[in-house]
Amino acid sequence: MGQAESVQGDIEVTGGTGSISLKSVEGGVTLAKTKGRIEVNSVEGDITITDAVGDITVETVDGDIILGRIDAANVDVNTVDGDITHDGTIKAGGSYRLATHDGDVTVVIPPGACVSGSVSTFDGDFDASFTVDTMRAGKHRFTFGIGRCATPARLEVETFDGDIQLRRPGEVEIEMPEHNKDQWKTKQHRNNDNDNDNDADFDFDFHFDGSSIATAVSANVANYAADYAAKYAKEYAPKYAQQFARTYSRKHAKTYKWTH
């Protein structure tokens, strides 16, 4: 089992097998060329996982999540404030859940994939750069199907404020993370012309139940409170208390009534 933790600073891991657990409070996490059960948690920082084989669970509060060249049957990804990109296998019978509160979600669908999917967004668009076989608009969700098989993969994509995009391989280029720009960069090829023959574009304007995202965030924050409170409370509490007090007191003064 491989494990690494950081309160302030980036974590970079290359190689390794077995169960891998990486945790960072304030810093990015980069994981590459690994095989096994992968769990990555961060409070503030981008998370990038490339060339990995095995089930993946990723949670961050403030940061983008990039999964590139992934070979996984089960993926569970959550962020509050950040974009999500998934480029990897979509296996029959697999489970893939990608959720963000404020950000876009891009999923690359491999050729021949068999998918039963649903998307939810409060304020955003759904765009597929290929034909989506079946579609149905509901009160809170838009469901779709790609291909036909006995055990389709289950793909659930949620965002409160952001767009959801399904892309072909090659339309999303996954390179390297922000903190090593000379070698790594993330670039998404977006087609401004959405009138191609096989494009499917839909505008959404409906509410969905974001309790699943809130639950995941609450659990993540609770874990960090227990693990790291004693380590960084003295340094970070005053800093963020003042910052958030100034920002949110002005922003929400007319919305909330505070009681003491």
Look up residue 246 and give its DSSP letter: H
- Which pLDDT score is estimated for 182? 40
Residue 222 lies in a domain: no
Percentage, residues of the chain above pLDDT 70: 64
With CA atoms as reference, report the closest residue to 77 among 104, 39, 112: 39
**Which of the pair, 173 or 158, is modelled with greater confidence?**
158
The first and second tokens of residue 202, run together, are 């839909």
Percentage, residues of the chain above pLDDT 90: 49
Residue 217 lies in a domain: no
**pLDDT, the chain, mean:** 77
Decide if pLDDT at 253 tops 60: no
Amino acid letter for position 86: H
Decide if pLDDT at 200 tops 60: no
| Whole-Å CA distances, 163 to 212, 214, 219, 257 | 18, 19, 25, 33
**Which of the pair, 142 or 240, is modelled with greater confidence?**
142
Cα dihedral 8→14→16→22 (10° resolution): 20
Residue 253 lies in a domain: no
β-pairing verdict for 200-204 and 56-62: unpaired
**How far is residue 43's CA from residue 61's CA, in Å, rounded to a whole number?**
5
Number of domains in the chain: 1
The length of the chain is: 260
**Which of the pair, 47 or 258, is modelled with greater confidence?**
47
Q: Where is average pLDDT lowest: 78-82, 100-104, 125-129?
A: 125-129
- Between CA 190 and CA 196, with CA 191 as vertex, the angle to 5 degrees is 150
Residue 257 lies in a domain: no
- Which pLDDT score is estimated for 202? 46
Nearby residues of 107 by Cβ (< 8 Å), 6 or more positions away: 86, 96, 98, 155, 157, 164, 165, 166, 167
- Which pLDDT score is estimated for 215? 53
Residue 241 lies in a domain: no
| Residue-range definition of the domain harbouring residue 191 | 2-212
Average pLDDT over residues 23-41: 94
Question: pLDDT per residue over 204-232, tens digit each?
Answer: 443 334 444 455 445 555 555 555 555 44
Residue 39 lies in a domain: yes
Question: pLDDT per residue over 118-166, tens digit each?
Answer: 998 888 888 899 888 767 666 567 889 999 899 999 999 999 889 999 9
Residue 114 lies in a domain: yes
- Which pLDDT score is estimated for 134? 66
**Which of the pair, 113 or 186, is modelled with greater confidence?**
113
Residue 242 lies in a domain: no
**How far is residue 23's CA from residue 43's CA, in Å, rounded to a whole number?**
9
